[in-house]
């Protein structure tokens, strides 16, 4: 059975060009890039090439790019540094729909005595800008708001939020893990101080991430040890993955227009096909400002895990917007914050597309979804 993969917000297929770019560092160029000899120096040049490719995707300078292990590390490092370099400030502003990497890090610092403001969202998952401005104070060390939401795909007004923080001398960090490579980001003009991304969300392998730190922003290392990354992140460089990430960033830059047009059109075809054929379903999130490949659809009176299991039998990979896999029918923190009614929230299903998806896959899914939902509604214990 052919696999139809619509779970790209969870992880993406490694691009064939990325795999090819990584292979030499397992076979011929295995040297340590921090070594003094010429063999290590040859490897180091590839690290810097990867750094330059990442910087070009983001509109940054190569010396502003720090390689990490993942987006979670980058998020934690940004929050840690902001608090450590400003010991007199003990306030963090985040949104209530952040990824757990930010939510849990903020909760940790709250237990250490910091004050955390969690901005609410409306029914479409949008942040109230008046509430945001009111939250900013002289004691605020950092604002950390995601560029785009992993569950419903909302793209947030990061430029406006970062500008308001900068006016008050407050550092601004954005988790751009879901946005990088999918929507344009130009840090030459976007006034954020720190930004996180993760390679496996843009067709690079798992295990490589980036933290962008704007030149001039004070930074305190999260991981200490050797002198790697100009003393900003210790640990021997993961050369094959850095090289792969560089190629993935180049490919993302080259395919950006395809992402914004063809992939968005496929998402719309999938979404409209399902909504037009299945009664009593809703689309969650801000459909005017969202990622080109993400749609989150909820079906009334169905349990989400059952949807995923039946789709899986058809070879269709999607993900749930609820915590069903943990044995709970409680909706995700994002849908809960949005106030999505329980009869819909517990069945929310996220379809996330990439440039490797096709119209044939979309049409196959649209063809089979109505029967899946009809069958599950007949079996469902949930009733009006």
CA-to-CA distance for 198 and 200, rounded, in angstroms?
Answer: 6
CA-to-CA distance for 99 and 94, rounded, in angstroms?
Answer: 10
Cα radius of gyration rounded to whole Å, the chain? 21
CA-to-CA distance for 297 and 51, rounded, in angstroms?
Answer: 37
Judge whether 96 counts as a catalytic residue.
Answer: no
Model pLDDT, residue 329 = 54
Residue 116, token pair as written in the block: 């955390």
CA-to-CA distance for 317 and 320, rounded, in angstroms?
Answer: 10
CA-to-CA distance for 333 and 319, rounded, in angstroms?
Answer: 15
Model pLDDT, residue 305 = 86
Residue 328, token pair as written in the block: 């709970």
- Whether the Cβ atoms of residue 353 and residue 291 lie closer than 8 Å to each other: no
Q: Which residue has the tokens 């939250």?
A: 135
CA-to-CA distance for 306 and 379, rounded, in angstroms?
Answer: 10
pLDDT below 70 — which residues of the chain?
Answer: 321-330, 382-384
Domains of the chain, start order? 16-254 (3.40.640.10), 255-379 (3.90.1150.10)
Give the angle 232-234-239 at the CA atoms, nearest 5°: 105
What is the DSSP secondary structure assignment for residue 263, as one 8-state letter? I
- Whether the Cβ atoms of residue 171 and residue 141 lie closer than 8 Å to each other: yes
CA-to-CA distance for 19 and 14, rounded, in angstroms?
Answer: 7
- What are the b/e assignments for 51-87, b being 16+ CB within 10 Å? bbbbbebbebeeebbbbbbbbbbbbbbbbbbbbeebe
CA-to-CA distance for 307 and 240, rounded, in angstroms?
Answer: 38
Residue partners of 127: CB distance under 8 A and separation at least 6: 95, 119, 120, 121, 145, 156, 157, 161
Model pLDDT, residue 324 = 39
Model pLDDT, residue 328 = 52
Beta strands in the chain (DSSP E): 4-5, 65-68, 91-95, 115-119, 140-144, 171-175, 194-198, 209-213, 281-284, 294-299, 316-317, 319-320, 349-352
Q: Which residue has the tokens 């709970």?
A: 328
- Whether the Cβ atoms of residue 181 and residue 249 lie closer than 8 Å to each other: yes
**What's the sign of the alpha-carbon dihedral 242, 248, 254, 259?**
negative
Calculate the CA dihedral of residues 258, 261, 263, 265 and round it to 10 degrees. -150
């Amino acid at each position: 059975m052919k696999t139809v993969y619509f779970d790209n917000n969870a992880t993406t297929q490694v691009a064939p060009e990325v795999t090819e770019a990584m292979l030499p560092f397992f076979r011929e160029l295995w040297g340590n890039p921090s070594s003094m000899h010429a063999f290590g120096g040859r490897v180091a040049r590839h690290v810097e090439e990867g750094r330059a490719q990442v910087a070009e995707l983001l509109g940054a300078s190569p010396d502003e790019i720090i390689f990490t292990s993942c987006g979670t590390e980058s998020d934690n490092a940004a929050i840690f540094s902001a608090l450590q370099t400003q010991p007199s400030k003990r306030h963090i502003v985040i949104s209530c729909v952040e990824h757990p990497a930010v939510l849990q890090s903020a909760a940790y610092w709250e237990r250490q005595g910091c004050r955390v403001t969690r901005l609410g969202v409306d029914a479409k998952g949008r942040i109230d800008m008046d509430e945001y401005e009111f939250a900013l104070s002289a004691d605020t060390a950092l604002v950390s708001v995601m560029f785009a939401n992993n569950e419903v795909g909302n793209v947030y007004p990061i430029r406006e939020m970062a500008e308001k923080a900068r006016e008050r001398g407050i550092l601004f960090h954005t988790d751009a893990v879901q946005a990088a490579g999918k929507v344009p980001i130009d840090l030459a003009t976007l006034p954020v101080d720190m930004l996180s991304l993760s390679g496996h969300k843009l067709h690079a392998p798992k295990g490589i991430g980036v933290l962008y730190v704007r030149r001039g922003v004070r930074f305190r290392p999260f991981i200490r040890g050797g002198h790697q990354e100009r003393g900003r992140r210790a640990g021997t460089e993961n050369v094959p993955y850095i090289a792969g990430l560089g190629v993935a960033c180049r490919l993302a830059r080259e395919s950006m227009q395809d992402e914004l047009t063809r992939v968005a059109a496929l998402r719309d075809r999938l979404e409209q096909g399902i909504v037009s054929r299945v009664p009593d379903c809703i689309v969650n999130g801000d459909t005017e400002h969202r990622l080109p490949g993400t749609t989150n659809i909820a079906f009334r009176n169905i349990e989400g895990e059952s949807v995923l299991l039946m789709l899986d039998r058809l070879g269709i990979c999607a993900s749930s917007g609820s915590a069903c896999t943990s044995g709970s029918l409680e909706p995700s923190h994002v849908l809960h914050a949005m106030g999505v009614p329980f009869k819909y929230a517990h069945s929310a299903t996220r379809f996330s597309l990439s440039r490797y998806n096709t119209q044939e896959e979309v049409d196959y899914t649209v063809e089979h979804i109505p029967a899946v939902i009809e069958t599950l509604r007949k079996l469902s214990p949930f009733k009006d």
